[in-house]
Amino acid sequence: MPMTKQNQAVNAGSRSIGTWIGSLLLCCALAACQTPPPPPVYVPPPVYVPPPLPERPAPPSAAVAFDQAIDFAVDDLLIQAQRLPEFQPKAPGAPGAAPREPAGTSKIRIVVDNALDGRTGQQTVATRTLDERLLSRVTARFPDFQVTPISAGDLASARFILTTTVTVLNQSQAGASIYRVNFSLTDGRSGIVVAMAAAQATGETVDITPTNFYRDSPSLVKDRTMEGQIRTARTPAGDAADGVYMSSLTVASLIAEGSRLYEAGKYQEALAVYETAAARPDGKHMRVLNGLYLSNVQLDRMDGAEQAFGRIVQLGLATNALSVKFLFKPGGTDFWPDPKISGPYPMWLRVVARESIASKTCVTIVGHSSRTGSEDSNDRLSLQRAVSIERRLAAVTPEIARLLQTSGVGFRENLIGTGSDDARDALDRRVEFRVRGC
């Protein structure tokens, strides 16, 4: 019997549903046959292992040559700086972490104050050698650090202050002495010493001849600021640097610049620098006043030199630290005959007498001698030198006699102690004016 259109439509729908069900069953069968994917495997992040800290060099077991002592102290000091936590690379992703820049592209700034003799406060051939070798050594071996001699312009941007001294440990004949070099590195922001290094050196190549500025200075220049600088060079890591020294760094930079100009024979420029320093509220330093005096002398401005020497005497009497370098002939009370040395002495005596009377200051004139000869003979000689200065002052101004007393201490207060009786130990033949009650 022929199918109706309605039956044809039902049969077509049935076939479509059947096809769909068949396809679905086939898909399910195929899916059942596939292997399920493995579960995800947890991979922990890599563990950050910081690089090992640089090893500090082994200290010498005994005193070494001067150059070797400097090299060791430089290496030890700056390796200590490299070991500080703030200079270690941070773990990737840690706060503040950043790719480390190649060496030399971002340098840590250090200013180096002039090295001083730890006993006298002077600069010498040896301290100049130390300064030059230090700068050369850092440049060659520590490219992450930029070191420059102290200057007012570099102080503002420098992170650290490097302070150094050379000190004799035993006073004996030149060449047999042992010297110690002391280095310290102070954080300029906190005033805390972050590293300190030291080494001992044999004396064969340590030349303690003072530089021209200190050789020519009329008075002993060691003052409270210089004592602070020497103390800072010996301060252990973790302790505070001397506060007086740290607060005077700007003046120290001017003093260093003036000294460099004076040594270079640029006396007019040196005078301008010392005048700038003297005009500062914190500029009352013996080195500044000696610089004013010396620059004026070299420029043949004797009125200016006398004014500067007057300020030296005023400051010395006010601080009870006036030591004048009258150079006597060895073994006697006569002044050194060279007019380049003893020519200014009459002016010095006149100014000392004038300022003592003006301030109504009573002083004890203390004579000193070098180590040459016996203790008894040097006691007598030092007293005779003090008496000779007393008589010379009274000859200039008789009324000063009532303010004066005399004393001799022989070589018991030697600062150098070599007994060489030349420019190297001139400070041992000084005359001091010690304030006392009237």
Domain end residue (candidates: 318, 333, 367) = 318
The answer as to whether 238 is a domain residue is: yes
What's the start-to-end Cα distance of the chain, in Å? 157
| Structure confidence at residue 437 as a pLDDT band (50, 70, 90) | confident
197 lies in the same domain as 238: yes
Question: pLDDT tens for residues 105-162?
Answer: 468 999 999 999 999 999 999 999 999 999 999 999 999 999 999 998 899 889 999 9
242: its two tokens? 């001397």
Instruction: State percent of the chain over pLDDT 70.
Output: 87
The answer as to whether 114 is a domain residue is: yes
pLDDT at 7 over 60: no
278 lies in the same domain as 373: no
Range of the domain at 176: 61-83+104-247
312 lies in the same domain as 345: no
The answer as to whether 99 is a domain residue is: no
The answer as to whether 52 is a domain residue is: no
More confidently predicted of 106 and 247: 247
Cite the beta strand spans of 114-191 per DSSP E: 116-117, 145-149, 160-168, 178-187
| Full strand arrangement of the beta sheet holding 404-408 | 322-324, 431-436, 362-367, 404-408
218 lies in the same domain as 281: no
The answer as to whether 289 is a domain residue is: yes
Q: Which CATH number is 282's domain given?
A: 1.25.40
Question: pLDDT tens for residues 195-219?
Answer: 999 999 998 889 999 999 999 999 9
317: its two tokens? 């009497």
CB 278 within 8 A of CB 310: no
Sign of CA dihedral 75, 184, 220, 290: positive
Q: Does the predicted model carry a pTM greater than 0.85?
A: no
178 lies in the same domain as 270: no
311: its two tokens? 């300020």
Q: What is the pLDDT of residue 161?
A: 97
The answer as to whether 78 is a domain residue is: yes
167 lies in the same domain as 280: no
Q: Cα angle at 369 between 367 and 372, to 5 degrees?
A: 165
DSSP run (H or E) holding 407: strand 404-408
71 lies in the same domain as 210: yes
Q: Which CATH number is 378's domain given?
A: 3.30.1330.60
Q: What are phi and psi of 325, to 5 degrees?
A: -90, 70
Question: pLDDT tens for residues 384-434?
Answer: 999 999 999 999 999 999 999 999 999 998 888 777 777 778 888 889 999
310 lies in the same domain as 361: no
CB 126 within 8 A of CB 225: no
371 lies in the same domain as 292: no
The answer as to whether 330 is a domain residue is: yes
Q: What are phi and psi of 118, to 5 degrees?
A: -70, -15
The answer as to whether 13 is a domain residue is: no
CB 155 within 8 A of CB 248: no
134 lies in the same domain as 280: no
Question: pLDDT tens for residues 296-331?
Answer: 999 999 999 999 999 999 999 999 989 999 988 888
- Tallying the residues shown for the chain, one arrives at 438
Domain end residue (candidates: 294, 318, 342) = 318
Domain end residue (candidates: 279, 295, 318) = 318
108 lies in the same domain as 184: yes
Q: What is the pLDDT of residue 256?
A: 95
User: How many structural domains compose the chain?
Assistant: 3
Sign of CA dihedral 167, 170, 175, 180: negative
294 lies in the same domain as 374: no
The count of other CB atoms within 10 Å of the CB of residue 428 is 25
Mean of all residue pLDDT scores within the chain: 88
Sign of CA dihedral 290, 342, 114, 419: negative
Q: What are phi and psi of 304, to 5 degrees?
A: -65, -35
CB 309 within 8 A of CB 351: yes
Question: pLDDT tens for residues 339-366?
Answer: 988 999 999 999 999 999 999 999 999 9
